Amino acid sequence: MLLHFLLDKYEKMEPILRVDLQKVVRKKYKAQFPDILKRASTQLNLVYGLEMKKGGPKCHSYILESKVGPSTENNLCGIKEFSKKGLLMTLLSVIFMKGNHATEDEVWEFLNVLGIQAGKKNIIFVEPRNLILTELVEANYLEYHQVPGNDSPCFEFLWGPRAHAETTKMKVLEFLSQITGTTPSAFPSLNEEALREKAERAEKRAAARAGRSPKTRANVRFKMTD
């Protein structure tokens, strides 16, 4: 509710007062207000590319500013806009959580919690579903296809080849942990899978280096004998 309220204020360019935020959270969760505000701020930053700042020294108001820059270090280099990169990382997180393939319904159920709704335009995403299917799928960051064997049409999402090339499961798990306010260890099975992938990638890099080494040494011997 707080996330929806903040996005609405940003879209309408209205001032964000602390007292109004407290009303949204309600008295029942007054003690948890700082944590709720922190988590909403984190989601705004990661998913929408908006940074929440104090509007004054007494912290009675806040402002939201568009943030430019990568959220995942050098990963996902093909996406320049911060908000789109955050959306993609969110989608990759859902797919990873659902066993590396997620139905379209599962994806939108998760996105709706973050205030992203199919068919609903906002100042951040012109139309999320169109963005996902035209930009992210066509750019090979995501795969989208019909699940065979179902009586009614059912579609699912998977990681695309560019996602596998430009990021890792551990990076995505760390992103998911930030959104949920936890740590990777809070997802034992996902953490184990991410660590396993990390080890496999390290073995492949070592094998690739080892494969080049004999050739390099042979070239050196050849030049020396000349």
The 16-17 sheet, strands edge to edge: 16-17, 61-66, 50-54
**Tokens for 68?**
């430019």
d(CA 126, CA 160): 23
What are the tens digits of pLDDT across the range 114-137? 778 777 766 666 688 888 998 899
Residue 21's pLDDT is 92
Beta carbons of 183 and 103 less than 8 angstroms apart: no
DSSP 193-225: HHHHHHHHHHHHHHHHHHHHHHHHHHHHHHHHH
Q: Which residues of 181-204 are buried (b: 16+ CB within 10 A; e: fewer)?
A: eeebeebeebbebbeeeeeeeeee
Amino acid code (one letter) for 139: A
Domains annotated on the chain, with CATH: 2-66 (1.10.10.1200), 82-186 (1.10.10.1210)
Closest CA to 54 of 14, 17, 106, 84: 17
Query: What is the reported pLDDT for 225?
Result: 40
* pLDDT score recorded for residue 198: 94
One-letter amino acid at 41 equals S
Asked if residues 154 and 110 have their Cβ atoms less than 8 Å apart, the reply is no
* pLDDT tens by residue, 171-216: 999 998 988 888 999 999 999 999 999 999 999 989 888 876 554 4
Residue type, 15: P
Convert 36-51 into a string of H (helix), E (strand) and C (coil).
HHHHHHHHHHHHHCEE
Question: For the sheet containing 155-159, what is the strand order?
Answer: 102-103, 155-159, 142-146
pLDDT of residue 223 exceeding 60, the answer is no
